[in-house]
Amino acid sequence: MKKRWMKMAAALCAAAVFGGCGASMEEAGTVVAETGFRFNLSCAPPVEKTFTMDEETIVLLHAGSQTAALGLEQGTLTDVRPRATIEIYTDGDWNILRMDDHGRIIGLQADILRESGWIAADTTEDGLMEVLEKVAVQVDVDLTRYPDIELYGGCQLRLYQDIDSPYTDYIHAEFDETGKFCFVKIHYSNIISLSEEDEAYFAGLLAESIGSDTPYTVSTAYFAEGGVLAASYTVTYSDPQKGVWVENYTAGKSLQ
């Protein structure tokens, strides 16, 4: 994901970020959507979900839930980690739908062995977008909310709500080399605006943990889930003798 890049100096100064609007709760200057404070569904998930692939309606049954801490097992800088419950639906084959504990569809995987349905005429941006528009209807996503588009890797699309924001919502869709849709992932940051204090807090955590003389840059993405504000760091080191390598870290801060 394309994020704002920050040069790491001793003080790691916080940069300004863009805000937004929507239902919210506020803590320490950072404004988080109410979904960022919830953890479990207030009612049982639906027994089944359906989607229509061109002319075919596919029925998926609830296959269970997964509750896990988000972020990395290795490289976690704090004991506080966001947790989320994901509801999983499947037709018993390779069609799989995932729904978060706010009732939002966050992923749809289609049977790659199928011979028809959601296959782009070509793998240009326009060709893939034509199929993604059909998929978006089935996963209840309004693509007009994601105006920043990138095509990369030949068959991958990324659509961002705000590509320059470190807490943007985004959609990631992948296709095979023939243009056949494989899966889509929808990421919600649940953050409306981020305070300079919280940004500086996370930057300081990383600076204390790295303690390296090797020059590096950092890409940081923020999100909120289950009452926890989290930062995900991608650190790129560049050493004249050792070359370039990447390490990943995560950290969390309670909002309650």
Predicted confidence (pLDDT) at residue 173 exceeds the cutoff of 70: yes
Q: 40: pLDDT confidence band, cut at 50, 70 and 90?
A: low
Distance CA 161, CA 189 (A): 11
Summarised one tens digit per residue, pLDDT across range 177-235 is 999 999 999 999 999 999 999 999 999 999 998 877 889 999 999 999 989 999 999 99
Predicted confidence (pLDDT) at residue 107 exceeds the cutoff of 60: yes
The pLDDT assigned to 129 comes to: 97
CB pairs under 8 A, 24+ apart, for 230-237?
230/70, 230/71, 230/81, 230/82, 231/202, 231/205, 231/206, 232/71, 233/206, 234/3, 235/206, 235/210, 237/212
3-state secondary structure at position 144 = helix
The first and second tokens of residue 83, run together, are: 């947790």
Predicted confidence (pLDDT) at residue 131 exceeds the cutoff of 60: yes
Q: Does residue 77 contact residue 209 with C-beta atoms inside 8 Å?
A: yes
Summarised one tens digit per residue, pLDDT across range 2-26 is 333 332 332 233 333 323 333 344 4
The pLDDT assigned to 95 comes to: 97
Q: 72: pLDDT confidence band, cut at 50, 70 and 90?
A: low
What's the mean pLDDT in 148-152?
Answer: 95
Q: 256: pLDDT confidence band, cut at 50, 70 and 90?
A: confident
CA 159, 164, 169, 172 torsion-angle sign:
positive
The pLDDT assigned to 75 comes to: 81
The pLDDT assigned to 205 comes to: 92
Q: What is the pTM of this model?
A: 0.83
Q: Does residue 151 contact residue 129 with C-beta atoms inside 8 Å?
A: no
Structure letter (DSSP) for residue 177: T
The pLDDT assigned to 213 comes to: 84
Distance CA 115, CA 92 (A): 18
